Structure 1
Amino acid sequence: MTFYLHDVSEGQNATFFPVAGIPGKLWSSTQFGTVYVHDDPITEGPDPNSAPVARAQGMHVIASSDGTSSLVMMSFVFTNEAYSGSTLQIYGTNRQNEAVREVAVIAGTGKFRSASGYAMFQKYIDFPDAYSVIQCYISIHYNI
């Protein structure tokens, strides 16, 4: 399955926010201890107006002292007709400087009950500190 995740980090419609960090330090995507929450739309294509599929809801914590990796914990909450109400749970280390990042799919619900596998993320479009489109490829095994 291939989808597109849309991160909006500026303006009234922002879907990706820093919410905590080390006191006295700048909260940023490279500062150890910064915690981000997100509720990003996922669509069938890279255009934000393409058919909605799901929401990516969760958090990222900058977990390496050098700021190059974050711990990702998120649920893909499906909203489209085919998988509505089903979820995939994604967890793992996000090596931020790599072109393609891989994390584990550790569980699922609904039509993806007992899912396991992996998800690969690659930037498709990136306007730093404003808007990004991330291509998501997911390979899973699950019980029907």
Structure 2
Amino acid sequence: MSKLIRHMVIKIQQYNGSNQQRNQALAELVEQILRTRKVCRPRPGHPLSGIYLEIYQTVQQQLNHQLDNDIDSRYLEMTSDQEWTSWRDSVFKKVLDEGCLQQLALEAQQHQLNTPERFYALTELLNAIKLSG
């Protein structure tokens, strides 16, 4: 992962100022960073929706904003996989406040027992609780 991310960071740093190519490259970098997330992963064959999509988009926006501000730092070229993961998880931790956790719990309660939907919702809730600290 780090070689690909390092390559993406260097590519973005080569763009001058704010332009459409830079913004697209930043969005792709954020997607790459989010690829190994533990929370808000879609179920196979189902797109993210509801509270899961809201949380994902909020984290995505915050990561994009922070990267846009810090992308020219030489430090980012040397960032390890573990540091990227820690940084991503810290953004999730900020987003996963008490209100989000309650919404995830309510989502789990809406599904019937012993269904794939309920299992997915409970797994997402447990992973969110672990990540929120």
Query: Which of structures 1 and 2 has the bigger CA Rg?
Result: 2
Both proteins in one fold, TM over 0.5: no
Relative to its length, the structure with more helix (as a share) is 2
Structure of higher RCO (CA pairs closer than 8 Å, 6+ residues apart): 2
TM-score by length of 1: 0.28
